[in-house]
Chain A
């Protein structure tokens, strides 16, 4: 047996020594060792080690970077690009499939990125953003905790005085829409009454005027540039001019604001000092009432939790223990946009849910597109095996092959990125329309960086598996043609298709469920009739109690108008509530709020609200102003039997129950029906509702408009349709519905592209087999079934996996609604059938093509 040099020393030598020298040096050292070994084995070993150590000098040590034997990286890169280009040209179909799949996937991700980024940026532009807080209140009701934004009017000032942590505080009234006029120019605009710190606490940019004093006093008005343009036709020399509000009060322009950025959740066109507003409404100064919003600017480093603990019983203290059911607390104002939903007094998501949902969808769509790439590359591996084999045989290392295939994938993904950017530019207006946003593609450095790294990552994700897979083959086996895919690889490929289709099925089910729920919302009988009803504000002469009856009579006389009345409730959401209802046997601690619907005569008839017991308000009974009507939910809540004729107290006054109204949904269908009372007090209303005859609304509206403008000069007739406002409550759901429709189509499209590629490939590989089968007499139909069967099974497995997942997901989403559809079995059947049909169709086209080929042609070759 030959003596063998000490292993460790040898390995050490091999580790540090340059590759191009090792052969010679190791050979010489081994020869010396072998010679020495005859005389003295131990000395030979020692000497060998010593000799190895003597080679530890720069000349013999490996270079740290690429050793001089391999080609320059730039040259390799050029080579890789060339090879990729050739393979794109040669396999056009798979190239196109990958390109279309990846680019639409990336485009979709880009859209979602833009949207998510915009959502995350909402309200983040305020300079003091980290210290801005809004005060909310938890209100303990009999059946739930209701979290409200409205606060007592004096709260802002009191907190600033009592709490040392408060640097500034601000009270802001609700948004309202009114008529502003300058000389003959009448303009309707949205605005609000705000405290004087509004412009110093929030960072809305004042172009003209002083932000510290613009809202001081009671007579200033701050308007936006756009409103100045509408009112005056210019923004020059507008300061100091007079503006009429509602043709009643005059204000002097004390500031011009830059238009409110789209990334602000507060949108308004003018600001008025709240002092005047509060003065006119002494009720707002009571701690028992709530209405305006309260914002705080806290001192740096304030502990929010401790602050909340300190103010938890603030309302109780201020009302000397009378009001115990309201707990104020503060939340970070810029976060409120995304985390605005409270359930039972606990933060429970909000818009962030959709942000997360869409981010996940974006990732899934890219993953589906990447799976196509992986599947097609590995399936087509056999075509490129010769290339890989030859490269390996002439000495290409595994690493350089991995680089080659990765760079091919990355090249493809960058090509897709270019197309995706084009798609985004083309479809951005449409996307903005759906999402009602003003997104734009701003190519700043950080965005480009994110884009490039995301694309590179996509390329790596898509290319990693094929690269590792292709480079791992044994060259001699490949070149001898002994290649066959192992069972594991086929399984992996099938698994990826299953994953793709499972996601597609989940998407389809969600689309169906969301669509059905929206349809349900639109068609659900609400208990009142919202069709053909318009409403508009009482203002100017119509706001005056003396003119109301004559105005309403005039409106009723217009042909095409079937009824008109007044109300204080717009029927789309919570308007005003009170806990001031008392009945026999009421628990004194029960502070549940009843919705207050103050109406004029005929209002319940116009809305088509059924009265199940007793009667509605009527002109025949002058005493009806002291009577009250409850809905069934309220009667049930109070536990009254035979309610008609019984007496309750409203704000201390005795009211006789005259009727019971059938339950109707006045809030969005997310909520169950809460207790409601109607009272008759035409002067305490502020909306006029009119019902139009179906079929000729247009003419009636035109006549109504001219009557209104004659009756109420200086005011524009600005009406809204009740059913349109009702729909607006579900804007978020509608958005989800239309977006998920697009995403589902895209997911299906990309998945089918992949399946199409795989089917085409299988058909091609099996063409000899098909030829032989046909030569032996197999029919075309049989062959189509043979080829489609395999894929249909895969898709079937995907459906079986996806259905339970989609069931869970859709029932989770539906829990947001108090009134919801039940999940029917056919939704799932439909989704499964759709996926199966689309997949079968995709595969069948390829199968038919393969089956109809003449066997002489397929068998002749090779």
Chain B
């Protein structure tokens, strides 16, 4: 694994893949993210992130079955891999530890 880094948007997409578990595909991820972030996201950005994550080995993909919807095109479902989970945990641990270092000063 050459590139262990994870961009901010990639991290969000990876989180969403993990969160949606077995139901994560392009449009679902897009809609969930838009709902969470409360802003518009372009589908191509999601696809770029997914492809990068797959290359880095953080997610795996498989095709779903053919349906009448989507012009007969199959959905591509993504699941998080063990490495993906580990890097999320790692990211989370770093952030939490840094967060915990914030002095207990009242900001109010």
Given contacts A24-B47, A59-B48, A59-B51, contact A54 B70 (CB under 8 A): no
- The interface bits of chain B over 33-51 (1 if a CB of A lies within 8 angstroms of the residue's CB, else 0) are 0000000001110011001
Q: Does B21 contact A (CB under 8 A)?
A: no
- Contact call B70/A30, Cβ cutoff below 8 A: yes
Q: Does A705 contact B (CB under 8 A)?
A: no
Closest approach, in angstroms, between the C-beta of B44 and any C-beta of chain A?
Answer: 4
Q: Does A671 contact B (CB under 8 A)?
A: no
In the complex, what distance in Å separates the CA atom of A656 from the CA atom of B48?
A: 116
- Contact call B76/A31, Cβ cutoff below 8 A: no
- Contact call B42/A34, Cβ cutoff below 8 A: no
Q: Does B95 contact A (CB under 8 A)?
A: no
Given contacts A34-B70, A59-B51, contact A27 B75 (CB under 8 A): yes
Q: Does A543 contact B (CB under 8 A)?
A: no
Q: Does A23 contact B (CB under 8 A)?
A: yes
- The interface bits of chain B over 62-104 (1 if a CB of A lies within 8 angstroms of the residue's CB, else 0) are 0100001111011110000000000000000000000000000
In the complex formed, the residue of B with least CB distance to A29 is B43
Q: Does B19 contact A (CB under 8 A)?
A: no
Closest approach, in angstroms, between the C-beta of B64 and any C-beta of chain A?
Answer: 9
Contacts of B26 in A (CB 8 A): 24-25, 27-28, 31
Contacts of B76 in A (CB 8 A): 23-24, 27
Q: Does B25 contact A (CB under 8 A)?
A: yes
- Contact call A27/B44, Cβ cutoff below 8 A: no
Residue of B42, B51, B70 touching A31 (CB-CB under 8 A): B70
- Contact call B71/A55, Cβ cutoff below 8 A: no
Closest approach, in angstroms, between the C-beta of B68 and any C-beta of chain A?
Answer: 8
Contacts of A34 in B (CB 8 A): 69-70
Q: Does A32 contact B (CB under 8 A)?
A: yes
Contacts of B48 in A (CB 8 A): 57, 59
In the complex formed, the residue of B with least CB distance to A24 is B76
Contacts of A21 in B (CB 8 A): 47, 51
- Contact call B71/A5, Cβ cutoff below 8 A: yes
Q: Does A51 contact B (CB under 8 A)?
A: yes
Within 8 A of B (CB), among A1-25: 2, 4-5, 21, 23-25
Q: Does A582 contact B (CB under 8 A)?
A: no
- Contact call B63/A31, Cβ cutoff below 8 A: no
Given contacts A28-B27, A32-B27, contact A51 B44 (CB under 8 A): yes
In the complex, what distance in Å separates the CA atom of A707 from the CA atom of B68?
A: 114
Q: How many residues of A contact B (CB 8 A)?
A: 22
Which of B27, B42, B68, B71 is most buried by chain A, counting CB atoms within 10 A of its CB?
Answer: B71
- The interface bits of chain A over 38-60 (1 if a CB of B lies within 8 angstroms of the residue's CB, else 0) are 00000000000001001101011
In the complex, what distance in Å separates the CA atom of A28 from the CA atom of B27?
A: 6
- Contact call A27/B71, Cβ cutoff below 8 A: yes
Contacts of B68 in A (CB 8 A): 2
Q: Does A697 contact B (CB under 8 A)?
A: no
- Contact call B73/A27, Cβ cutoff below 8 A: yes
Closest approach, in angstroms, between the C-beta of A27 and any C-beta of chain B?
Answer: 3
Contacts of B74 in A (CB 8 A): 23-24, 27
Contacts of A190 in B (CB 8 A): none
In the complex formed, the residue of A with least CB distance to B52 is A59
Given contacts A28-B27, A31-B27, A31-B69, contact A54 B75 (CB under 8 A): no
Q: Does A693 contact B (CB under 8 A)?
A: no
Q: Does A313 contact B (CB under 8 A)?
A: no
Closest approach, in angstroms, between the C-beta of B3 and any C-beta of chain A?
Answer: 15
Closest approach, in angstroms, between the C-beta of A410 and any C-beta of chain B?
Answer: 39
In the complex formed, the residue of B with least CB distance to A56 is B44
Closest approach, in angstroms, between the C-beta of B53 and any C-beta of chain A?
Answer: 13
Contacts of A55 in B (CB 8 A): 44, 47
Contacts of A35 in B (CB 8 A): 27
Residue of B25, B44, B63 touching A54 (CB-CB under 8 A): B44
In the complex, what distance in Å separates the CA atom of A5 from the CA atom of B27?
A: 16
Closest approach, in angstroms, between the C-beta of A702 and any C-beta of chain B?
Answer: 99
Contacts of A2 in B (CB 8 A): 68
Contacts of B47 in A (CB 8 A): 21, 24-25, 28, 55, 60
Q: Does A667 contact B (CB under 8 A)?
A: no
Q: Does A570 contact B (CB under 8 A)?
A: no
In the complex formed, the residue of A with least CB distance to B55 is A59
- Contact call B71/A54, Cβ cutoff below 8 A: no
In the A-B complex, the 9 residue pairs with the smallest Cβ-Cβ separation, listed nearest first, are A27-B73, A28-B26, A24-B76, A54-B44, A30-B71, A27-B70, A30-B70, A31-B70, A31-B27
Contacts A2-B68, A21-B51 known; 8 new A-B pairs at CB < 8 A: A24-B76, A27-B75, A28-B43, A28-B70, A35-B27, A51-B43, A54-B42, A60-B47
Q: Which residues of A contact B (CB under 8 A)?
A: 2, 4-5, 21, 23-32, 34-35, 51, 54-55, 57, 59-60
10 contacts between A and B (CB under 8 A): A24-B25, A24-B75, A26-B73, A27-B71, A30-B69, A30-B70, A30-B73, A31-B69, A35-B27, A60-B47
